[in-house]
């Protein structure tokens, strides 16, 4: 428990350190673009794939459970939309990203620690936290774009599965999508996504930066990073939902 509290304190100190002694802008600009490419653009394929099929499955499951004839079919589209926008895209995809982005960040920074590359930066008078973590943090600002894409593709997957599977007519699915649409739900999803993006960039960085030992510990640090990133996302999801939707 004391170790956990010490780690939380260390994490917040690290957050402050990220902004000290900034790296030259002409170098930082390149690092930011590189991280956007690696973390955001590189994630689009897997996010699109998952979103399409999960959207399809959510629609089929809803259709199979709403088999009472007095319940209108367009509610299948309505339920798919709500599930995808409110929870699946922001939260579920972020937990998957904790595995993909998180393990990349922890292992890359952890390997730099093991091979003394971080020491080399320090000796040169460079703030390693600014050099390594700040670009990831800025790249994470574009993370809501990934989630917007996930929402779109998830709903599209639901539309395809619902109409091609014969569960409801395409017009009914679209009617369900438009029914009682509240724009604040999308805003709520993007607020969550921004917080999750911050967690995805910083928690794995923390575990990579402060790891000790050799190659084996890099693997262990990646696992720890995934676990704590997921836990942080789940807790923040609960707090934000309580704050914004009730």
Partner 1 sequence: MIEVKDLKKSFDDKEVLKGITTTYEAGKTNLIIGQSGSGKTVMLKTLLGVHLPDSGQILFDGRDFATLDPNEKRTLRTEMGMVFQGSALFDSMTVEENIGFPLKMFTNKTNAEIRDRVQEVIDRVELIDANKKMPSEISGGMQKRVAIARAIVNNPKYLFCDEPNSGLDPKTAIVIDELIQEITHEYNITTVINTHDMNSVLQIGEHICFLKDGKLVWEGTSKEIMVTDNEDIVDFVYSSELLREIRRFHSGKK
Q: Which residues bind partner 1 (CB under 8 A)?
A: 21, 23-24, 26-27, 111-112, 115-117, 119-120, 122-126
**DSSP assignment, residue 167?**
S
150 burial (CB, 10 Å; 0-12 / 13-18 / 19+) is buried
Contacts of 174 (CB under 8 A, 6+ apart): 77, 159
Rounded distance, CA 126 to CA 5, Å? Answer: 28
Rounded distance, CA 57 to CA 34, Å? Answer: 34
101 vs 189, beta carbon nearer partner 1: 101
78 vs 134, beta carbon nearer partner 1: 134
The angle at the Cα of 49, spanning 45 to 52, to the nearest 5 degrees, equals: 135
104 vs 159, beta carbon nearer partner 1: 104
Query: Which residue in this structure is represented by tokens 């971080």?
Result: 118
111 vs 142, beta carbon nearer partner 1: 111
Quickly count: other Cβ atoms within 10 Å of residue 164's Cβ.
Answer: 10
- For the bound state, the minimum distance from the C-beta of residue 118 to partner 1, rounded and expressed in Å, comes to 9
CA distances from 65 to 59, 85, 172 (A): 10, 20, 17
- For the bound state, the minimum distance from the C-beta of residue 35 to partner 1, rounded and expressed in Å, comes to 11
- CB 173 within 8 Å of CB 158: yes
- For the bound state, the minimum distance from the C-beta of residue 117 to partner 1, rounded and expressed in Å, comes to 5
CA distances from 180 to 44, 77, 147, 192, 201 (A): 30, 12, 22, 21, 35
115 vs 178, beta carbon nearer partner 1: 115
- For the bound state, the minimum distance from the C-beta of residue 215 to partner 1, rounded and expressed in Å, comes to 12
- For the bound state, the minimum distance from the C-beta of residue 125 to partner 1, rounded and expressed in Å, comes to 3
- For the bound state, the minimum distance from the C-beta of residue 106 to partner 1, rounded and expressed in Å, comes to 16
- For the bound state, the minimum distance from the C-beta of residue 12 to partner 1, rounded and expressed in Å, comes to 22
Instruction: Please count the residues of the chain.
Output: 246
103 vs 230, beta carbon nearer partner 1: 103
3 vs 24, beta carbon nearer partner 1: 24
């Amino acid at each position: 428990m004391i170790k956990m509290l010490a780690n939380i304190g260390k994490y917040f100190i690290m957050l402050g350190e990220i902004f000290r002694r900034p790296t030259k802008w002409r170098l930082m600009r390149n690092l930011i673009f590189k991280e956007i490419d690696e973390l955001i653009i590189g994630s689009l394929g897997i996010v699109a794939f998952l979103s399409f099929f999960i959207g399809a499955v959510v629609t089929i499951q809803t259709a199979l459970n709403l088999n009472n004839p007095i319940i209108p079919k367009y509610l299948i589209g309505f339920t798919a939309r709500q599930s995808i926008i409110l929870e699946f895209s922001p939260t579920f995809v972020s937990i998957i990203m904790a595995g993909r982005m998180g393990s990349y960040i922890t292992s890359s920074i952890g390997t730099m620690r093991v091979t003394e590359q971080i020491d080399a930066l320090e000796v040169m008078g460079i703030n390693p936290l600014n050099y390594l973590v700040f670009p990831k943090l800025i790249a994470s600002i574009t993370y809501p774009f990934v989630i917007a894409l996930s929402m779109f593709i998830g709903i599209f997957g639901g539309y395809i599965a619902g109409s091609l599977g014969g569960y409801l007519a395409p017009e009914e699915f679209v009617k369900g999508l438009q029914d009682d649409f509240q724009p604040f739900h999308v805003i709520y999803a993007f607020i969550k996504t921004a917080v999750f993006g911050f967690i995805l960039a910083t928690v794995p960085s923390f575990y990579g930066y402060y790891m000790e030992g050799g190659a084996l510990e890099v693997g262990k640090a990646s696992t720890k990073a995934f676990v704590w990133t997921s836990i942080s996302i789940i807790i923040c999801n609960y707090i934000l939902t309580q704050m914004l939707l009730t």
